[in-house]
C-alpha cells in the first residue's frame, strides 16, 4: 500500500564506527518523538512519529546497506533524505563522508536533502576534522551541517527535528 505523504524514509550513511547506530538509538528514545521498532519477517523498521507545527509526521530510519567502499551499494536511492555521518575524531570517516556526498549529488544526481553530521564531539581533544573543511564541503554539496554527541545525547533531538524540517522545506519551498 502507498504510505501517506507525511511518511518519510531517511537513510543514515557513513563509515563503520562513526555512530550511526548510536544516533538512531537516541532518536528512538527522544522526548520529541513516539518511537517504535516494528518487526517484519526479516528486518526491523525503526520509526519515530513527530509533531511539528501542529502536524504529525513519521520518519523511518533505513539501515545502511552493507558497507562496500568500492561501490554505490550502501546508498538507498529511494530514501527521502540522507544523514551522512562521520566521526570528528577520525579523518578517514570524513573522507568517506565526502565520497558519499559526491556519489549522492554527482553519481546519482540526487537533489534530496542531505545533512552532514560530525559525531563524537564529546571527544574534544581528539578532534581531527577541521571546521573549515566541513564548511567548505557543506557548501560544495549543498547540505546542512550538524555536530552531535550520540554518547551524551547532545544535539540529537535538534538533528531529528532538522531532518524533518529539511524534508518539509524541500517539498514546500517558501
Binding stretches for ligand GDP (CB under 6 A): 14, 16-22, 119-120, 122-123, 149-151
CB of 101 to ligand GDP, least distance (A): 17
Q: Which is nearer to ligand GDP, 60 or 122 (CB)?
A: 122
When the beta carbons of 24 and 57 are compared against ligand GDP, the nearer one is 24
Q: Give the end-to-end CA distance of the chain in Å, rounded to a whole number.
A: 30
Q: How far is the CB of 68 from ligand GDP (least distance, A)?
A: 14
Of 151, 81, 86, nearest to 117 (Cα)? 86
DSSP alpha helix (H) spans, 2-108: 20-28, 91-102
**C-alpha distance from residue 125 to each of 18, 89, 92, 120, 121 (Å):** 17, 9, 17, 11, 9
Distance CA 75, CA 116 (A): 15
- 127 versus 165: smaller Cβ distance to ligand GDP: 127
CB of 150 to ligand GDP, least distance (A): 4
Indicate the residue among 126 and 130 with the shorter CB distance to ligand GDP: 126
Closer to ligand GDP by Cβ: residue 57 or 104: 104
Grid cell 509526521 — which residue? 57
Taking the complex as a whole, the smallest distance from the CB of residue 148 to ligand GDP amounts, in Å, to 6
Shortest distance, position 43 Cβ to ligand GDP, whole Å: 16
Amino acid at each position: 500500500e502507498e504510505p501517506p505523504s507525511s511518511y518519510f524514509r531517511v537513510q543514515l550513511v557513513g563509515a563503520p564506527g562513526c555512530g550511526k547506530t548510536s544516533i538512531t538509538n537516541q532518536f528512538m528514545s527522544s522526548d520529541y518523538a513516539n518511537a517504535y521498532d516494528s518487526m517484519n519477517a526479516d528486518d526491523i523498521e525503526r520509526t519515530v512519529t513527530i509533531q511539528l507545527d501542529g502536524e504529525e509526521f513519521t520518519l523511518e530510519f533505513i539501515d545502511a546497506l552493507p558497507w562496500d567502499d568500492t561501490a554505490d551499494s550502501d546508498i538507498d536511492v529511494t530514501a527521502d533524505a540522507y544523514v551522512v555521518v562521520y566521526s570528528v575524531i577520525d579523518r578517514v570517516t570524513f573522507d568517506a563522508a565526502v565520497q558519499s556526498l559526491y556519489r549522492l549529488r554527482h553519481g546519482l544526481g540526487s537533489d534530496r536533502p542531505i545533512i552532514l553530521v560530525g559525531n563524537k564531539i564529546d571527544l574534544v581533544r581528539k578532534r581531527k576534522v577541521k571546521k573549515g573543511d566541513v564548511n567548505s564541503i557543506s557548501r560544495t554539496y549543498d547540505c546542512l551541517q550538524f555536530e552531535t554527541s550520540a554518547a551524551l545525547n547532545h544535539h540529537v533531538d535538534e538533528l531529528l527535528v532538522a531532518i524533518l524540517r529539511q524534508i518539509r522545506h524541500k517539498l514546500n519551498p517558501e
